[in-house]
Amino acid sequence: MRDGRHDELDKGGWRARLTAARTALPVATRVAEARALAEAVGALDLPATVCCYVPFGTEPGSIAWLDVARQAGARVLLPVIPPEPGALDWAEYTGPQTLSPGRLRGVLEPAGPRLGPGAVREAGLVLIPALAVDRAGVRLGRGAGYYDRSLGHAAADATLVAVVRDDEFVERLPAEPHDVRMTAVLTPGRGFVPLTGR
């Protein structure tokens, strides 16, 4: 993935390659990247409400960035996976002690009141998990479609930020008409990078 180009790969091929690369990362690298991402969030001029997520498995980031955003004065909303496929629900994050296991194994969710799929509209900044993102804002997720169905509820002027490792910010990914384009990317080494986006 060094050149960021694998034009012959479809989405399944990209997912397999990226997942294997993440699994091979040393723990020390993951910890350093998570620290860098928390610092990058702290350096942003945050809006009143931020939608974020709790990284799980090999996703870059950590719970620390949630607390950084709260300490900066932002209201932090986290996704709640619905019982049936559809748009994500949201609930406010008020501290690590309020997180509990969600529907999917390994995923932590806030235990507070559910605010509905439309709550994402309140956010000026939405941090979004991704396996990769390209320079045109095409995001590659895990394939469940939760965010594609959810981001249609976001405000038209919200900044949609894919969070990836530096090597996962690539030249071009396969795109489909329903894909919601990102307007920025956040990586451990580059920090916040605006994209051509929507």
Residue 15, judged by CB atoms within 10 A of its CB (0-12, 13-18, 19+), counts as middle
7 three-class SS: coil
pTM: 0.90
Determine how β-strand 49-51 pairs with β-strand 75-80.
parallel
Contacts of 17 (CB under 8 A, 6+ apart): 1, 6, 9
Residue with token string 């038209």: 156
Taking the C-alpha atoms of residue 61 and residue 164, their distance in angstroms, rounded to an integer, is 9
Taking the C-alpha atoms of residue 197 and residue 160, their distance in angstroms, rounded to an integer, is 9
Question: Which pLDDT does position 141 carry in this prediction?
Answer: 84
Question: Which pLDDT does position 169 carry in this prediction?
Answer: 96
Question: Which pLDDT does position 7 carry in this prediction?
Answer: 57
H helices of the chain, where?
Answer: 11-23, 27-43, 64-71, 146-150
Question: Which pLDDT does position 13 carry in this prediction?
Answer: 85
DSSP 50-72: EE-----TT-S--THHHHHHHHT
Contacts of 3 (CB under 8 A, 6+ apart): 171
Q: Name residues of the chain where pLDDT drops below 50.
A: 1-5
CA distances (Å), origin 68, targets 35, 97, 174: 11, 16, 34
Token pair, residue 60, equals 């870059």
Question: Which pLDDT does position 146 carry in this prediction?
Answer: 84
CB 116 within 8 A of CB 152: no
